[in-house]
Amino acid sequence: MRERLQKIIARGGLASRRHAETLILTGEVRVNGQVITQLGAKADPAADVIEVSGRRLRLPVEHLYLLLNKPRGYVSTAADPKGRRTVFHLLKGIRQRVFTVGRLPYDVEGLLLLTSDGAWADALLRGRLPQTYWFKIKGALSEAECERLGRMAGRQQPEPQPVRRVKAGPNPWYEVTLVEPRGDWFRTALFRLGHPVEKVRRVALGSLRDPALAPGHFRPLTDKEVERLRREACPAGKTAFAPAAGKARPRQVGLPPPARRAGKRQAS
């Protein structure tokens, strides 16, 4: 983005805005090797080489925090060996390098965070940020099935997580919040109950929701949202989940053991 030179110099900490004006008028400022002496001149600090009294201006790094509504049919990596579209194709106008905070599978849509702040991303990934999903399944769940799935979803949390219907119909949508969604265990559990999953959508990250954000669109996070997500992922006095001593960690969170095949030897 092009800005007035005196504003850029002041933001870089080399001089006050008034002193920067004096430096420009006295020929102490160059842009891409050309001396600039006009106060109304503009430059793009991200694209242009700006020198003040022979010293190259380098602005402090301003981290970028984005919320993207990922559509189905996009991968969450920078490149794909199969040539599929990536979420970075959706970030039109973003010049700064960013990376995804976690991933969403190719056929899953919903909210995805991207940032240039590695420490912030690491805090969210190492923490226990709740993630809320909607699942569209074949057939309706019974009350008993909802309770069973809620207990499974709550195994890594202080209490069971409710599984509730959010859209009615022959193939309804259900919502569940997971603290440590690992692999595809919830989809597998629904399949074993006779309710194959048709669609999956992530609708919330912690308390962050944005139903007005259209698929394929993105927006910057506010400062309050950035800090709130960090606090929710790493509450005071809490650490990332670690299994208690002497207890084996489950292979997949909440996933029931596979059913025995007919003909196998049964325990007496």
DSSP-derived 3-state class of residue 46: coil
The answer to whether residues 52 and 71 belong to one domain is no
Residue 83 within a domain: yes
Is 255 within a domain? no
Tell me, what's the pLDDT at 73?
95
pLDDT digits (tens, 9 = 90+) for 4-35: 999 898 877 777 788 889 999 999 999 999 99
With tokens 């194709």, the residue in question is 89
pLDDT tens string 209-250: 999 999 999 999 999 999 999 999 987 645 443 333 333 333
Q: Is 183 left (phi over 0), alpha (psi -120 to 50) or beta?
A: left
36 and 166 in a single domain? The answer is no
State the pLDDT at residue 258.
37
- Which of 25-39, 53-67, 96-110 has the weakest average pLDDT? 53-67
Is residue 238 a part of any domain in this protein? Answer: no
CA 7 to chain centre: 32
Q: Are residues 112 and 152 in the same domain?
A: yes
pTM comes to 0.68
Q: What is the pLDDT of residues 131-176, one digit of tens each?
A: 999 999 999 999 999 988 888 877 656 566 789 999 999 999 999 9
- Give domain status of residue 74, yes or no: yes
- Output the pLDDT for position 116: 87
Q: Do 82 and 156 belong together in one domain?
A: yes
* Per-residue model confidence (pLDDT) at position 179: 79
Instruction: Count the domains in the chain.
Output: 2
Residue 32 and residue 103 in one domain? no
Contacts of 162 by beta carbon, 8 Å cutoff, 6+ apart: 146, 150, 176
Give the ranges where the chain is alpha helix by DSSP (H): 5-11, 17-25, 118-126, 143-153, 185-192, 223-233
Domain for residue 266, yes or no? no
More confident residue, 126 or 219: 219
Domain of 9, in residue numbers: 3-56
Choose among 142, 133, 144, 140: nearest CA to 176.
Answer: 133
Q: What is the CATH number of the domain that holds 92?
A: 3.30.2350.10
Task: Return the CATH number at 30.
Answer: 3.10.290.10
**End-to-end Cα, the chain, rounded Å:** 74
The pLDDT, as a whole number, for residue 126 is: 85
